[in-house]
Amino acid sequence: MARIIGGLGSPHAPSIGALIDAGDWDHPDWLPLMQGYRPMQRWLAARRPDAAILIYNDHVTSFFFDRYPTFALGVAAEHPIADEGFGPRPLPPVRGDADFAWHMAHALVEDGFDITVCQEMPLDHGALTPISALWPGREVQPELGWPTAILPLAVNVLQFPIPTPRRLWQLGGALRRAVEAYPRDYDVVVLGTGGLSHQLHGERFGFKNEAWDQEFLDRLEHDPQSLAALRVQDYVERSGVEGAEEIMWLAMRAALPERVRRVHRNYHGPLHTGFAQILFEDPSLAPILDTPPRVAQ
């Protein structure tokens, strides 16, 4: 039987991808953040999941505001690298698993999620930044390919009305049920992406709220349903309009058991965005890494 063994949270800012492509992991302004990926990389290398469900948002690359789906699932065996205006990143096409993806599509619809099913969905920085940070080296040696199949699940957090935090919580539960119904012996991780607090336009341009970011991470671990009970407006007020990306982390958390083991947590906010990394695992698994302190504040 398939199972979800862990959940990861990561930012997806394009600036992080640019550092990776330049090989600048030790840039002094970004070092506390980039170091935060190292425990996650070691954990993934040790656990070797068969697939990662990637919850992200498309930045008007595959979808435009004239037709922007609430939930879109990529079911292809391979996902192209999108050109966001500067040429595609030097990464190999992202490996999928069509059999698993189609199973998830059918299971989600049967569970009440009327998703858009995409047989071709180029991936932009919303997806590529986290996977290139968690499985690095493909920007240097694209022939390596990707060690884990990626199932991209795009969520509309850009054009209102966006789904409620409660709906993302329900999505996480549906993902867990769908995975557990997959008949193969298959280990899956769920990856929630996006910045924490940030707003990149309007009167509150540059808004960042570290106090809320830390509270969000605390509650995500210990009291996630209280986050699901908030309104989208609450997230906008506390974390900025773009900070509504936090609801994608809720789906990751809801796909995990009620109690989780927190393996890693890190926070860094060098510019206009609160960046965080977190790693939870199923506590029934034998630990493989010592739980480290937060890398940076």
* Digit-coded pLDDT (tens) for 79-89: 999 999 989 99
Catalytic residue among 12, 79, 125, 268: 125
d(CA 137, CA 27): 17
Catalytic residue among 12, 79, 103, 198: 198
Q: Domain of 82: which CATH number?
A: 3.40.830.10
Would you call 125 a catalytic residue per the annotation? Answer: yes
* Digit-coded pLDDT (tens) for 30-58: 999 999 999 999 999 999 999 999 999 99
Indicate whether 127 belongs to any domain: yes
Q: Is 84 helix (H, G, I), strand (E, B) or coil?
A: coil
Would you call 198 a catalytic residue per the annotation? Answer: yes
Average pLDDT, the chain: 92
Q: How far is CA 239 from CA 7, 93, 286, in A?
A: 22, 33, 35
Indicate whether 293 belongs to any domain: no
Residue 216 sits at φ, ψ, to 5 deg, of: -60, -45
- The alpha carbon dihedral of 64, 67, 70, 73 has a sign of negative
* Digit-coded pLDDT (tens) for 86-105: 899 999 999 999 999 999 99
Domain count, the chain: 1
Return the half-sphere exposure (C-beta side, CA atoms, 13 A cut-off) of residue 219. 17
Indicate whether 211 belongs to any domain: yes
What is the longest distance spanned by two Cα atoms in the chain?
51
Indicate whether 288 belongs to any domain: no
Indicate whether 53 belongs to any domain: yes
Indicate whether 290 belongs to any domain: no
Indicate whether 84 belongs to any domain: yes
Q: Quick one: which of 71, 107, 276, 270 has its CA closest to 181? A: 107
Indicate whether 287 belongs to any domain: no
What is the domain range of residue 84? Answer: 3-281
Q: Is 10 helix (H, G, I), strand (E, B) or coil?
A: strand
